[in-house]
Amino acid sequence: MNKKDIVSSVRKITEEILKSTDIELFDIEYVKEGPFKYLKVYIDKPGGITVDDTADISRVLNKKLDEVDLIKEQYFLEVSSPGVERPFKTEKDYLKNLNKLVEARLYKPIDDKKTVKGILTEKNENNIVIKSGENNFTIELKDLAKINRVIEDF
């Protein structure tokens, strides 16, 4: 089974487990780091995820994955929060972060910049607007390599 099929199958299993909870699946990665393979499952819920949430989901998911014997090679299962500064993946991520400080990395530069940091002021079907200083940058979604919330230390 290839990496894409593993992630797809684990996604279905995880969504089934989470169906009766207020926890949502954010992302799944199956990666090799050094000599080891990791199945990383990122979960979240309104108000934030707790250590108990991750432990509970990890236990149930681990048991289910052992039952179905989906991944034939040895791997480590990690269940965690994606963190506050996680990349935006869904419409909900953008809407939740309107009027918040974000950093956008671009495929092609705007005003000779490939990174724009500022307040996300608008999101529509095709683009976003980030206010940086006195400037408003309108960025097409197709030109976004990555966007995430930024938490600054005071």
State the pLDDT at residue 92: 87
* Domains defined for the chain, CATH in brackets: 3-80 (3.30.300.70), 91-149 (2.30.30.100)
Residues 6+ apart with CB under 8 A from 84: 149, 151
pLDDT tens digit at each of 154 positions of the chain: 899 999 999 999 999 999 999 999 999 999 999 999 999 999 999 888 999 999 999 999 999 999 999 999 999 999 999 888 889 988 988 998 999 999 999 999 998 999 999 999 999 999 999 999 999 999 999 999 999 999 876 5
Q: 136-141: which pairs have CB atoms within 8 A and are 24 or more residues apart?
A: 137/110, 137/111, 139/104, 139/106, 139/110
Alpha carbon 13 to chain centroid distance?
Answer: 18
The answer for residues whose C-beta is within 8 angstroms of residue 4's C-beta and 6 or more apart is none
What pLDDT is recorded for position 136? 96
Nearest alpha carbon to residue 140 among 128, 131, 130: 128
Q: Which residues of 49-72 are buried (b: 16+ CB within 10 A; e: fewer)?
A: beeebbeebbeebeeebeeeeebe
H or E, element range at 41: strand 36-44
The predicted pLDDT at position 105 comes to 97
CA distance 92 to 94: 5
Q: Are 82 and 121 in contact (CB under 8 A)?
A: no
